[in-house]
Structure 1
Amino acid sequence: MTILYPLSHLGYTISPQANYGWIGEAGPDPSYGDDIDGQSTPVGFDNEFTQRNAIIMTWSLMYMARMLKDAGSLPNHGNDEEAWKAGCRFDYENPE
């Protein structure tokens, strides 16, 4: 989950709930999705926390994908390092 903050500094769009996960027993116990004999669903699939956050994240990602598609991608205005180095301050007067 700590990777999300540096990715946002690189320009990635981080969706709400992108850090969802299954918080189960730590250690040598079964992992999320493992089948256990006699159990009706794989481990963690019935976890309300994980289900809720996975759904919220999925809808957020779909909304973001639609917004990007409709906009024709992210605009470059204000995100151009070469223009910044050349003195452009993107709608703000250069104080120099």
Structure 2
Amino acid sequence: MSEAGPRFDEIIHAPNRLQICALLATVARAEFSTIRDSLQVADSVASKHLKVLADAGYVKLDKPTGEGRVRTWASLTKEGRVAFAGHVAELQRLASSLG
């Protein structure tokens, strides 16, 4: 995957996963609590959606050690960025066809 063409992505489309991708598209990485708080959901809900994205290869999860308290960090992979851009492009295409 090197280019994002309009493509509906069912993995990304779920509201919480769409919000996670939108957040991660604007930063190099985000800490788990930032993602959870942004979604205003429980830890288990955020974890579930991050796992789906990670299993699809769209998100990379890291737990670096040696930084005091162990934290989970998430970042969009190259494939995740391409998939997200393609999904957004498809939503824009669909929306523009309405008017």
TM-score, normalized by length of structure 1?
0.33
Structure (1 or 2) with the greater strand fraction: 2
Bigger radius of gyration among the two: 1
Q: Higher relative contact order by CA 8 Å / sep ≥ 6: 1 or 2?
A: 2
TM-score, normalized by length of structure 2?
0.32
Structure (1 or 2) with the greater helix fraction: 2
